[in-house]
Chains A and B, each alone.
Chain A
Amino acid sequence: MAIKTTLTRRIITAGLQGFYRNRTVSLSSIFILTITLSIITSFYLFRAIFDYTLDQVREKVDVRVYFTVDASEQDIIDVKAKLLGLSQVKSVTYTSREQALNDFKAKHGGDTLTLQALDELGTNPFGASLAITAKDTSQYESIANQLTSSSGLLGDSSGAVDKINYYQLKDSIDKLNSIIGWTDTVGFWLSMIFILMSCMIVYNTIRLAIFVYRDEIAVMKLVGASNMFIRGPFIVEAVLYALIATIITLAIFYPATVWVTKKTVFFFEGMNINHYFVTHFFQLTGLLLLSGVLLAVISSLLAVRKYLKV
């Protein structure tokens, strides 16, 4: 136990010493690793913006069931309850006849001709409606089918339904679904390619840094050092690179997200990127530390392995 403690202490000391004494090599490795971690952080934040924006678009899509003017409130409440019972349905918003009339008036506030025509009618021509939001845009079709099929959801209340606007929206919803699917796939592969490329750059930088030590590693072997005793300090250095690169990346991205938030808060439909960064700080730190440590340590181990075969 005492021997292991001494060995660990010596490895850590040698790692810290090597890190400090080879400052130029350490700084270049940290620089490259910081770029890689910045790419990972950018994708992490882009992903959040992308998901948020898509959610906003999805929220705006709904299927409406319009009821006849004679439909009783009980019929509407029954349909609403049945809809809420469906697993695909996220929310159902009820708009009463009066509310529909008021909304119409508010919308056409400046159009006196239309408002006069409405007054001429003497009655409220608007039926009540239910706005259905699905959990996923791909589920609208199934909800619409259940509403329109004869043995479907509406049952006795089917007479109260005037129309369902899904089929008018179908093209737009299909297009939205295909865009979501396409951007998901392209985004995934694009991020994979960028991350893989930056991993290769980190590996090559560390490999070059360790190439400088190839003769030393051979000498260490010849004076009787075990593989672990030689590898250890390089692992310590790699962990330090990752730790410092993570701190630098977070330190760069905090003010960057504040600035981006100020510039884009309207553009991204009210999303506050800085708030997202702060609320996901520990998750992001963990992700960066884990990727940084894994990347640097694996690169070091692979690079050293080649020179240990003496």
Chain B
Amino acid sequence: MLYFDRVSKEYDDGNKVLDNISLTVHKGELVSIVGHSGAGKTTLIKLLLAEEHPTEGTVSFHSDNIHKLKGNDMVKYRRKVGVVFQDFRLIPNKTAYENVAFAMEAAGKHDDDITEDVPHVLDLVDLKNKMHHFPHQLSGGEQQRVAIARAIINRPEIIIADEPTGNLDPLNTYDIVQILKKINDLGTTVILTTHNKGIVDSLGRRVITMEDGKVTRDHKSGKFAM
């Protein structure tokens, strides 16, 4: 469903962060992308979210070149992709409920669906009791669970999680990984970037290793190896 075809990315200062990447992600996969800082993981994610454009090559979702999408088509694409960031990126002046509801409102969902689905999803991430708390009233782990709830509320085809446990303690890290695994078990494709060996090894799923902007390993059922 997701295709990187000979993708390179070079910034204006001449720094080449991705070098001729070609890979395919199939529907229902859980893929971990591992690599040192500066290996190109985050740039790969930014290309997927169309925050950045490739210098060469194409990134396609089904048959659409993501970077050719404009206006409403881009909005529709982004609604099919749920995204979770290391720094949570919640809207600070909205409660947990409102943060999750925002994604549904933006997608034009009906009010009845919003009042029904939001508490349900917050319950799934074990935050039903804190749904009217603002982000600053929640711990890092709780904020990340709100971000996951927001990412999955519109039933996206892919969840992209960029270092989702980078700012969390081991207990919260375990919880987040379990939630992502559960989402994947329910059929959603998950792409996860991480530094955490324990997570990758415990998942026992596909692992793509990146070094200096290149894919150096791609194992179906891999372990963390650098």
Contact = CB atoms under 8 A, between A and B. Distances in A.
Interface of A: 3, 6-7, 10, 17-18, 21-22, 215-216, 218-226, 229, 310
A21 B134 CA distance: 11
Contacts of A10: 105
30 contacts: A3-B108, A6-B108, A7-B108, A10-B105, A17-B94, A21-B93, A215-B89, A216-B92, A219-B89, A219-B91, A220-B91, A222-B78, A222-B83, A223-B78, A223-B102, A223-B103, A223-B106, A223-B150, A224-B75, A224-B76, A224-B78, A224-B79, A224-B103, A224-B106, A224-B107, A225-B102, A226-B72, A226-B106, A229-B105, A229-B106
B43 interface: no
Interface in B86-113: 89-94, 102-103, 105-108, 110-111
B49 interface: yes
B12 interface: no
Contacts of A18: 93
Contacts of B94: 17
Nearest to A20: B93
A226 B75 contact: yes
Contacts of B78: 221-224
Contacts of B90: 219
B24 to A, nearest CB: 23
B83 A22 contact: no
Contacts of A229: 105-106
A21 B98 CA distance: 13
A3 B107 CA distance: 11
B154 interface: yes
A218 to B, nearest CB: 8
B111 A6 contact: yes
A22 B102 CA distance: 18
A7 B92 CA distance: 22
B106 A220 contact: yes
A22 B93 CA distance: 8
A213 to B, nearest CB: 9
Nearest to B160: A222
A129 B64 CA distance: 93
A303 B122 CA distance: 34
Nearest to B79: A224
Interface in B181-207: none
Nearest to B92: A216
Nearest to A13: B105
Contacts of B151: 223
Contacts of A222: 49, 51, 78, 83
B143 to A, nearest CB: 13
Contacts of B51: 218, 222, 310
Contacts of B49: 222
Contacts of B93: 17-18, 21-22
B106 A225 contact: yes
B116 to A, nearest CB: 16
Contacts of B79: 223-224
Chain A to chain B: the 3 pairs with minimum beta-carbon distance, closest first: A224-B79, A225-B106, A224-B78
A224 B105 CA distance: 10
Contacts of B76: 224
A226 B102 CA distance: 12
Interface in B135-168: 150-151, 154
B154 A224 contact: yes
A219 B91 CA distance: 8
A22 B78 CA distance: 28
B75 A225 contact: yes
A37 B92 CA distance: 32
A227 B180 CA distance: 30
Contacts of B92: 216
B92 to A, nearest CB: 7
Contacts of A224: 75-76, 78-79, 103, 106-107, 154
Nearest to B87: A215
Nearest to A219: B89
A208 to B, nearest CB: 17
A220 B83 CA distance: 11
B103 to A, nearest CB: 5
A17 B91 CA distance: 13
Nearest to A225: B106
Contacts of A223: 78-79, 83, 102-103, 106, 150-151
